[in-house]
Amino acid sequence: MQLASCQIRYLTMNDLHREVRDVWLHSAFDTIEQHTFVDLDTRFLSIAEQDYETLIIGGNDPVRAARFLRINRPILARKVKIALMHGSLAGKRAKALNAGFDDVFDSARMSPEEATARCGAILSRYRAAAHQARAEQELASSLERIAHLHLLGKRERQLLTLLANRLGEPVSHYKLRTELSHGNDEMSYNYLKVLASNLRAKLKAPYVLVPGGQGSYKITSL
């Protein structure tokens, strides 16, 4: 599996094993945007010209790489970060991982195919986390239009979410109690009524929480 074009940015230290590392990396990935590593230079981390999802730093000096990562942590928070070494010792790989790299590749020990697969797996996790974060933000924005979120307790927010996901449609008391229960501790109908009453008082106009008929609640707009 080859990662898409222009998604990998590679900063390579000008040291003893630069050439062999560079050749190995280009055999693993089709397209790499390559630059020479400069300790305090942040211009190669910019996405002004084009975005990238994976940053690979090549070099056998984990102290320099760690310092670079630490200084630029806010910029790289959502980027896959790979350290690429050649003939590295376990201690150096550990330093790189402890510094915040997601993985350490060694061009003397790892096949290009394995590197591609591992990078792809890490990237998939980052994409899934980003998707989840966007979904949570969209949900929060949606809920904020309906209720005063800062006034809601945990259970009230959970109830709001269940009802808002089916805005204008009835949701049965049974489903609400089941979803809001913790394990074997089933929520009582009376507790659900209290939650519904509390939530009702914290909704924003024009939204109201009303009985939905046949043992259900719904949130609708007047």
Asked if 216 contacts 193 with a C-beta cutoff of 8 angstroms, the reply is no
Correct CATH for 147-221 of 1.20.140.10, 1.10.10.10, 3.30.310.220, 1.10.1060.10? 1.10.10.10
> CATH 3.40.50.2300 spans which residues of the chain?
8-135
Q: Which CATH class is domain 8-135?
A: alpha beta
- 108-144 pLDDT, tens digit per residue, is 999 999 999 999 999 999 999 989 988 888 888 889 9
Q: How confident is the model at residue 4 (pLDDT cuts 50, 70, 90)?
A: very low
Asked if 36 contacts 11 with a C-beta cutoff of 8 angstroms, the reply is yes
Long-range contact pairs involving 91-97 (C-beta distance under 8 Å, separation at least 24): 92/60, 92/62, 93/62, 95/62, 95/63, 95/66, 96/62, 96/65, 96/66
> CATH 1.10.10.10 spans which residues of the chain?
147-221
Asked if 83 contacts 65 with a C-beta cutoff of 8 angstroms, the reply is yes
Least confident range of 37-46, 66-75, 94-103, 194-203: 37-46
Asked if 122 contacts 53 with a C-beta cutoff of 8 angstroms, the reply is no
Distance CA 29, CA 91 (A): 27
Distance CA 95, CA 143 (A): 43
- 46-85 pLDDT, tens digit per residue, is 765 567 899 999 999 999 999 999 999 988 988 999 999 9
